[in-house]
């Protein structure tokens, strides 16, 4: 697959390569394009090659990346000048084929909600009853407290699901309320 630019999301282990034509910064004039990425835990840079006389080929080695959100800066440099052309964010997602059995990728809110609902139904496992919220095991909360936690976690999980749907190009299913009135008096 030929990319036309830096995607918003990439997967660890994928081959990421694309060509860029920059009329103001041709490779023939010794301009080099680079992308520099940084997150809280890691940092990496793109590779650069000349495709033909003026075009730049950008390559990202994703084999050793850490998953997470990265800020990036696209720069062009020649022997004496450097310009930042673009800034943005990139999400590096895990390679699911590298997972071993038993990987739970749910959010904290989704896990906590499942555990609380099991407690309220009286079907919690030993692990679920010892699950801790704010440093206190679920078994130490009253029914009213658990019900309150469940209500707030349901909202949080719903918002996470809507955000994920929007990110994947789907609809968020959020309610839009409108009120109409007659302008005639």
Closest CA relative to residue 8, chosen from 91, 70, 101, 111: 91
Pairing type for strands 68-77 and 15-20 reads unpaired
Does the predicted model carry a pTM greater than 0.85? no
Residue 145 or 101, more confident: 145
Q: Which tokens sit at 76?
A: 């062009």
Q: How confident is the model at residue 1 (pLDDT cuts 50, 70, 90)?
A: low
Domains within the chain, CATH numbers bracketed: 9-96 (2.60.40.10), 104-167 (no CATH)
Q: What is the mean pLDDT of residues 14-23?
A: 91
Cβ(111)–Cβ(138) below 8 Å: no
What percent of the chain has pLDDT above 90?
41
> What pLDDT is attached to residue 47?
85
């Amino acid at each position: 697959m030929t990319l036309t630019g830096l995607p918003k999301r990439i997967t660890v282990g994928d081959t990421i390569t694309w060509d860029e034509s920059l009329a103001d910064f041709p490779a023939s004039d010794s301009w080099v394009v680079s992308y520099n990425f940084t997150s809280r835990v890691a940092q990496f840079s793109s590779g650069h090659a000349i495709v033909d006389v003026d075009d730049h080929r950008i390559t990202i080695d994703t084999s050793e990346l850490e998953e997470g959100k990265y800020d990036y800066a696209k720069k062009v440099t020649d022997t004496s000048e450097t310009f930042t052309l673009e800034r943005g964010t990139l999400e590096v997602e895990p390679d699911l084929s590298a997972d071993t059995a038993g990987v739970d990728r749910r959010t904290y809110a989704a896990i906590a909600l499942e555990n609380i609902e099991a407690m309220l139904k009286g079907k919690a496992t030993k692990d679920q009853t010892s699950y801790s919220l704010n440093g206190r095991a679920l078994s130490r909360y009253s029914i009213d407290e658990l019900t309150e936690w469940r209500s707030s976690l349901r909202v949080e999980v719903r918002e996470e699901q809507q955000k994920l749907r929007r990110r994947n190009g789907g609809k968020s299913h959020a309610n839009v309320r409108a009120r109409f009135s007659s302008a005639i008096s």
